[in-house]
Amino acid sequence: MDSTIVSATAAVLGSLVGGSATVATAEPVGFSTFPPVRATPAPQSPSNGDVSLTTWPPASANVRRMETPQTIGVIGAGTMGAGIAQGCVVAGISVVMIDVDEERIARARNAISDGIERILTKAAAPAGDRGAALDRLRGTTDYEALRGCDFIIEAATESEALKIAILQRIDAVAPHGGIVATNTSSISISRLAATAKLPNAFVGMHFFNPVAAMHLVEVVRGPQTDDATVDAAVALAKRLGKTAVVVKDAPGFVVNRLLCPMLNEAALAYSEGIATASDIDEAMKLGCNHPIGPLALCDLIGLDVVLAVMRVFHHDLDDPKYRPAPLLEEMVAAGNLGRKSGRGFYAYEGAK
């Protein structure tokens, strides 16, 4: 492999290792332990500073600003939603975080509290800042709470039908047309935008896991996304300390288009018995200079997420080379989703 590609891959994957997710006990799971498993007129660009922040959301959907939003709505309090919410409150932005039940919200709040503690301790920030950051977080199951949000990031489960239903709920409560972003890993921004009230104000913001450690945000421009929306997404990414790369809408964008087929191939190699899980991971770490092996990375990302991405590639790119590994299908059906379920290609002690 070209050494540039190898080092670039290592750089992308490198931050994962520095992330907050730590393997409790990473015991490879033996082969025998699971089965071989709406359209509106094009908006004007925002005029330079002639609309005050207090007028947001604007009465006219065609007037938008690029300043940092005051309150961000985050839909989904899972791995990514919690990470994005944490990044926002640490950056001084208020967050309304929505999920389907109070238990998930409480779990995310605890994770965010721990994350804030780690980040601010490392930054030697005054103790009062921790409480202040957490105070900026409000969790609820009530979509009505999104009315006060000027920027909404959807980070719910990777399902097109679910995301379309969520977009309709957002449109019902956010009639003024603030910006709506989706953190989808693979679903077509164009198809999602087609169901939104304001496709011009709809954009992809693809954060990486773990959000606190990963520097990239792919800002995905759909065919109708306007410049002001792209600029606002890039500005928000920067405000959160990230580097934004603007990409066209295509399945998996850039990173997952390259990464997920490799993860799928690793699952195939494992199920064919080419090597044990830990040997596959060791081989890719030492042979390609990846800081984490592909099967451990599957567990970190979530096997359900990897499977959902491969299903989208298979369907949207219409090429058999993207067929999901049967083992991934079986493991997900069995509830072995990786770290979040306590078991994937490895077993994790103490996981929920």
Here's the x/- map for ligand NAD, 92-111, by CB under 6 A: it reads as ------xxx---x-------
Interface stretch with ligand NAD, choices 50-58, 118-126, 156-164, 315-323 (CB under 6 A): 156-164
Question: Does the annotation mark 256 as catalytic?
Answer: yes
Please select the residue that binds ligand NAD; options are 76, 177, 222, 291, rule is CB under 6 A. Answer: 76
Which residues, including other chains, have CB under 8 Å from residue 179's CB and lie 6 or more apart?
64, 69, 150, 151, 152, 201, 202, 203, 229, 232, 233
Structure tokens, 112: 């965010």
Residue 299 touches ligand NAD, criterion: CB under 6 A: no
User: Are the CB atoms for 186 and 163 separated by under 8 Å?
Assistant: no
Interface stretch with ligand NAD, choices 201-209, 225-233, 312-320, 343-351 (CB under 6 A): 201-209
User: Are the CB atoms for 280 and 270 separated by under 8 Å?
Assistant: yes
Residue 294 touches ligand NAD, criterion: CB under 6 A: no
From 218, 264, 271, 290, the catalytic residue = 218
From 256, 264, 271, 341, the catalytic residue = 256
Query: What gap in Å lies between CA 220 and CA 244, rounded to an integer?
Result: 10
Please report, in angstroms and rounded to a whole number, the separation of the first and last CA atoms in the chain: 39
Question: Does the annotation mark 290 as catalytic?
Answer: no
Query: What gap in Å lies between CA 86 and CA 83, rounded to an integer?
Result: 5
Amino acid at 209: N
Question: Does the annotation mark 45 as catalytic?
Answer: no
Closest among 245, 200, 252 to 222, alpha carbons compared: 200
Residue 19 touches ligand NAD, criterion: CB under 6 A: no
Q: How far is the CA of 135 from the CAs of 69, 113, 132, in angstroms?
A: 17, 10, 5
Residue 156 touches ligand NAD, criterion: CB under 6 A: yes
Amino acid at 59: A
Interface stretch with ligand NAD, choices 71-79, 110-118, 119-127, 229-237 (CB under 6 A): 71-79
Residue 249 touches ligand NAD, criterion: CB under 6 A: no
Query: In the complex, what is the shortest distance from the CB of residue 237 to ligand NAD, in angstroms, rounded to a whole number?
Result: 14
Site for ligand NAD in 163-192 (CB under 6 A): 166, 183-185
Residue whose CB is nearest to ligand NAD in the complex, by number:
78
Question: Does the annotation mark 158 as catalytic?
Answer: no
Q: How far is the CA of 342 from the CAs of 4, 11, 83, 198, 279, in angstroms?
A: 35, 27, 19, 40, 21
Please select the residue that binds ligand NAD; options are 188, 209, 229, 264, rule is CB under 6 A. Answer: 209
Residue 81 touches ligand NAD, criterion: CB under 6 A: yes
User: Are the CB atoms for 69 and 194 separated by under 8 Å?
Assistant: no
Interface stretch with ligand NAD, choices 5-13, 35-43, 69-77, 279-287 (CB under 6 A): 69-77
Q: Which residues of the shown chain bind ligand NAD in the complex (CB under 6 A)?
A: 75-81, 98-100, 104, 155-158, 162, 166, 183-185, 206-209, 301-302, 305, 340
| Catalytic residue positions, numbered | 185, 206, 218, 256
